[in-house]
Amino acid sequence: MDLPGRPIPTTFEYIEAFAFREPKRPALVQDQQAWNYQELYLDIVRVIRVLHDIGVKRGDRVAVGASGFQAGLVLLLACENLGAVTISFLHEQDADLADVFTLADWVFSDFAQTVPEGVQFIAIDDAFIKRMRAVDVADPRPLPRCTLDLDEPQRISRTSGSSGRSKFMLLKRQAQEHTVRTGAENGGYRPDSRLLVVGPFVMNAVLVRSSACLRIGAAVLELSHSGLAGHEITHVLALPALLEGVMRSLPPGHVSRSRVDVQTLGGFISPQMRERAMRVFGGPVSSRYGTNETTGICDDVDANGVGIVSPGVDIKIVDESGRELPQGELGVIAVRTPGMVEEYIGLPEASAAAFRDGWFHSGDWGMLIAPRVLRLVGRHDDLVIVGGVKAPAMTVESKVRELVAPDDCTVLAVNLDAGATNLGIALVMNAPDREAVRRAIAAGLDPGMPIGARVLFLDAIPRLKSGKVDRVALHVLFANPPAEAV
C-alpha cells in the first residue's frame, strides 16, 4: 500500500537544511582544501543545474569516476537528487570498466574514457568547471529535484572482484536508505564527528557513510597519508589493508591526542593489527562483517570470527543443498536484510544460485553458536588444509603473523604439485634466512602431519585498487612463482 505524502528526503536536502541553518559548519576536507555546508551545498546546486541542462533525468544510469573525492561526491549527490541511478568506477585501472560502461547512459570522468556507442561521455575538464562556476546560484527558478520512491532503483553496486570478474547489483532506494540509516547508527557518528574515509566510492560503504555523516551535520575527511597527522579525526572507516597503510604513514610513535573509533570492513582484521590500531588511535576497533548483496550482517566480528547478528538481519546456516542446519553445525551462511538486492544484473544462473526464496546464500561458511551469535569461518574457498585438518585461512594467517611477524601476509587455498601442496602463504618481509622462516612456520602450524605449503616472499601482496587482495593474481604467482620469490 502506498503511504501518503512525499518520499523521504535525499542527502542533498539534509545538506541544504544545514547550509541555511549553519552555513559555516565544516562539511568536507580533501587534503588542504575544506568546504563548509554552504560551500558544499552551492557546488551541488551548480552541478544539479548543469546536469539538468545537458539532459540527465530520473532513471538515467550515470557512471562517475572522478580522481578527486569532493568532485566525485558532488556529482553522485547531484545525480541522486535528480533521480538518476549512480555507478562508481575507478578513473584509472578499473578492471570492470567495460561492464560499467555497458550499464551506463552517461559517463563522467576527469580522465578520457572510451565508451560504447549510445553512451554519452562528459569530461570533467576546465570547460565543465567553467560552466559549473558560471551557474547563477541566485537563479529564482525552482531547483530541479526528484525524490525517488523506495521501490525505485537508485544505485548500482558490485562485488569486489577479488576472485575474478565482478558481479553488478541494482539497489533500490529502500536498500540504499537502509544502509545509510544503519551506517549512522552502527558507526556511532554524532554531529561533531569527523570521519576519515579511506577508500574509493566503488565501495558503496564510502558513499553510504559519507551520506550518513552529512545528514547529521558531521564532517567527512579524505586525506593523503602525508596530511593525516595534521588533522583531528574522531572516526576512521577503512579496509584492513588500507588501514595498515594509514598507520604506516603516521610518524613513528604517533598517538592520537583524543579517542578515535576505527571500523574496518571488507576483510578480516588480524589481532595484531587490531592491537596496533587501538594503541595508535586510543579508541575501539571494530571489524564489520557484511556483503555487498545484503549490507551489514554483524557490526563487529572479534579475532575468533564471532559477532552478534545486527538488528533487522535474519541468519540461517544451510548445507550445500539449502537444507537448514541446527545450531552448532558448520554450513553456508544464508541471510536476508531490508537492504538486500534481488539478483545480479544479466547473470540469471548466478542469481538463481545465490538468491533463493528471499534469502541470499553467501559464499561464506559459519555456524550459529548461540541464538543471534554467528561464528564466521571464512569463504568457501578460504578453507585451507593444515596437517590434514580444514581451517579458516584467516585463522592460519593470524598464526603466521604471530610466528614470523611479516610486514604483510596472505594465506589462501591452492591446488599445486598434483594435490600435494594445498596451502599458499605469501609474505612481505625482510628475511635474510628464508629457510629459517619456512621452518618456523612449519613448526608452528604442523600438528605432526605435513602441511603441504608453498611460501613466497614478495615485495608486495597483489591488491585491487580497493585494497582487497587480488586472489586471481596471487594464484598465478603461486602456480608460477618468480625465482626471486622462492
- Domain boundary (222, 241, 271) is at 222
In a domain, 375, yes or no: yes
CATH number at residue 85: 3.40.50.12780
The answer to whether position 4 is within a domain reads no
Q: Note whether 96 and 23 are same-domain residues.
A: yes
Examine the fold and report which residue of 350, 379, 408 is the final residue of a domain before the chain moves on.
379
Handedness of CA 443, 444, 445, 449 (dihedral sign): positive
The answer on 367 and 444 residing in a single domain is no
Structural domain boundaries, residue 397: 387-485
Tally of domains within the chain: 3
Looking at the structure, do residues 71 and 206 belong to the same domain, yes or no? yes
C-alpha cell at 363: 559464499
Distance of CA 465 to the CA centre of its chain: 11
Do residues 70 and 159 share a domain?
yes
- Provide the β-strand partners of residue 157: 169
Give just the sign of the alpha carbon dihedral 156, 157, 162, 164: negative
How does pLDDT run across 224-263, given as a tens digit for each residue?
876 777 788 999 999 887 888 888 888 888 889 899 999 9
- Per-residue pLDDT tens over the stretch 23-81: 999 999 998 899 999 999 999 999 999 999 999 999 999 999 999 999 999 999 999 99
Question: What is the per-residue pLDDT for 244?
Answer: 84
Q: Are residues 454 and 400 in the same domain?
A: yes
Query: Under a CB-based contact definition with an 8 Å cutoff, are residues 202 and 88 in contact?
Result: yes
The whole-angstrom separation of Cα 4 and Cα 139 is 31
How many residues comprise the chain? Answer: 486
List the CATH number of the domain containing 428.
3.30.300.30
Same domain, 433 and 371: no
310 and 438 both lie in a single domain = no
Question: How far is it, in rounded angstroms, from Cα 95 to Cα 161?
Answer: 9
Tens digits of per-residue pLDDT, 427-458?
Answer: 999 999 999 999 999 888 875 545 678 999 99
Please, are residues 445 and 452 in contact by the beta-carbon 8 Å criterion?
Answer: no
Q: Specify the pLDDT at position 164.
A: 63
For residues 30 and 81, state if they share a domain.
yes
Domain boundary among 379, 411, 426: 379
89 and 58 both lie in a single domain: yes
Whole-angstrom Cα distance, residue 145 to residue 57? Answer: 10
Same domain, 374 and 391: no
Task: Tell me if 14 sits within 8 A of 27, measured CB to CB.
Answer: no
